[in-house]
Amino acid sequence: MKAWLSILREIAFNLHRLRPILRPGRWLVVAVIATATLSALFEGVGIGAMVPLISMLKADAGHLLEVLKNDKVLRWLPAKLPGHSASLYIAVFCAIIVFLIVCKNLALLMSQNLMARMVRIISANLRLAIFQRLQQTSIQVFEERKFGELGNVFSIETIRTQSTIEFTLLLIQKGMIAAFYVIAIVVISWELTLGLVVLVLVVSGLSALGQMRLKRRGDERSKAQHDLFGYLGGVFSGMRVVRTNHAEAETEREFERRNEHLAEVERRAAVMNALMAPISEILAVVGAMFLVWGAYAILIPHNRLSGPLLGAVGFILIRTLPLLNQLYAIMGQLSYSSGGMREIFVWLDLPVYPKRPFGHRTFEGIRSGIRLDGVGYRYPNGTVALENIHLEIPSGKTVALVGGSGSGKSTLASLLLRLREPTSGAIRVDGVDFWEFSPASWHSRLGMVEQEAFLFNETVEHNITFGSPNTTPKQLQRALKVAHLEEVVSGLPLGLQTVVGERGTMLSGGQKQRLAIARAMIREPLFLILDEATSALDNVSERQVQAALDEARRGRTSVVIAHRLSTIRNADLIVVLSEGRIVETGTWDELEARNGAFQALLAAARGGHLSSEP
């Protein structure tokens, strides 16, 4: 019983936390409970009517009228229908019972239909709430979590949570019917009520042991699903690596191991769940028969209970036992599925990004420049990525960031993109903290091209205009021209309507990069960030993309993260980073003349470690 109460408390607490998601369907929840109550009321009255019917059936036809007139419950029947035969009175009473049971089933059917509608609404709202929270949380969540975990929460865990809500309402439905039965037995005999309470406690206590094991099985299943789906996401994302390393057999063996583990966990849970119902039913039947025998042997001889009432009790117990069995089964399902709610809250409780809210200023341009004053960034695990960065990015100029792997170049770009929040210092645009600009105005005038262009499995036009739904044909053509993409598009089977495939697999690396440049140019950015946009390309593709980048940078404030040093020879300022700090700044000629960190990078490039020549 204690285990059950613990599960129900947890579910009630989680449902309370889910009330913003449940609110759109709250009238359906009320309607489900109301119709369930009505169904229980009709059933209780219908079953209660069995006691007078048994009394009527015991009397022979000649004495039935006398029985009716002397019974406080039945005397209305001859008063309303005087002068009729005994069979008619019996028929009327049977018709009343049939009417009550029909009404009970109609109310139950309505309750179940309303519940099905409510569950659909809640399930859709739940998925939307998770999606919205993921949209609002830090980008680091997507860097740390496996893709398979996201698929698992949107499919398996939302279904488990939906099932928990559904089973909770079923528990309320069945519980109210059981309450009416208990009330009927209380009215008939307090001794039988006491016996029934003892019976329920014993059966519940024994069943609770199984519920605890089912709860553990549910947690094991959730963990095994995470493990399997996380592995699947990694394999499918890296299928090129799998095949080029001829690792199909290895990945298949690993998948088979994880898949078999999940199947075994599910098998054990299914066996445990299947055992719960018959064991509970056997225990309940044994206890009920003991109650009936005890009542016949003790209560009837001492005139504490009549034969018709004992018959009614027997009938109520016959109706109650399957109901108790259903309640035990529902509790088993709740023990198994309630873990889904815990997993859902892992995602719904993700912190909203940023902790310091963005402002509402409109970003209209860069007049003098962007200044970084003592900017630092520390990862949640404590690793220092940037420390005490002081840098001026003049308006209309190109600033290049160079340095070895892990020097902080991409982290600095993430800060400028506002994908991460500085842990110290400030970034100002014309003296204004850039955090004061609204997200819409900042990102609508900011262009970004990364080392590996991410493309959706959509048309070329959709990928270029993504985030800019009001793009005009003239703006689209201008972006294609700046990105040197016109010839590529004209050579595609369906032109702009050609679907590029998953992550742009139908295009070459250079074509994907130029498409990303067109996507950046479509919004006519005032500030452009290029994060090693040519490092993954061959020499021919690099020349094509570099020409597009040079065109894109013209007249714009730009930050270029460079892997191939040749791409930044004409930068207005080169910033050399090492271990999260700025160690040198200057033009190409100034830095080349010094015997410093940039000279070391050039030496490494000439030695083949970096590229200094196109």
Sequence ranges of the domains in the chain:
2-348, 382-397+424-555
Q: Whose CA is closest to 359, among 412, 432, 416, 424? A: 432
Query: Helices in 295-390 by DSSP H: which ranges?
Result: 307-337, 339-348
Predicted local confidence at residue 55, as pLDDT: 66
Predicted local confidence at residue 196, as pLDDT: 74
Q: Is CATH 3.30.70.1150 correct for 382-397+424-555?
A: no
Predicted local confidence at residue 4, as pLDDT: 65
Positive/negative CA dihedral, 516, 521, 525, 529:
positive
Predicted local confidence at residue 215, as pLDDT: 65
CA atoms within 13 A on the CB side of 358: 21
* Domain 2-348: CATH superfamily, name plus number: ABC transporter type 1, transmembrane domain (1.20.1560.10)
Residue appearing with tokens 């519920």: 211
Query: pTM, whole model, 2 decimals?
Result: 0.70
Task: Quote the tokens at residue 498.
Answer: 């050609």
Distance CA 515, CA 526 (A): 19
CB of 274 closer than 8 Å to CB of 209: no
Predicted local confidence at residue 401, as pLDDT: 93
Predicted local confidence at residue 540, as pLDDT: 59
Contacts (Cβ under 8 Å, ≥6 apart) of 474: none
- pLDDT profile of the chain (614 residues), mean per 10: 72 84 78 84 75 66 63 66 70 82 87 83 86 87 76 81 85 80 77 76 68 70 77 72 73 86 81 70 73 78 72 71 73 77 87 89 92 93 91 93 88 91 94 92 87 84 87 89 85 89 82 86 87 64 72 85 81 92 92 88 67 40
Predicted local confidence at residue 161, as pLDDT: 86
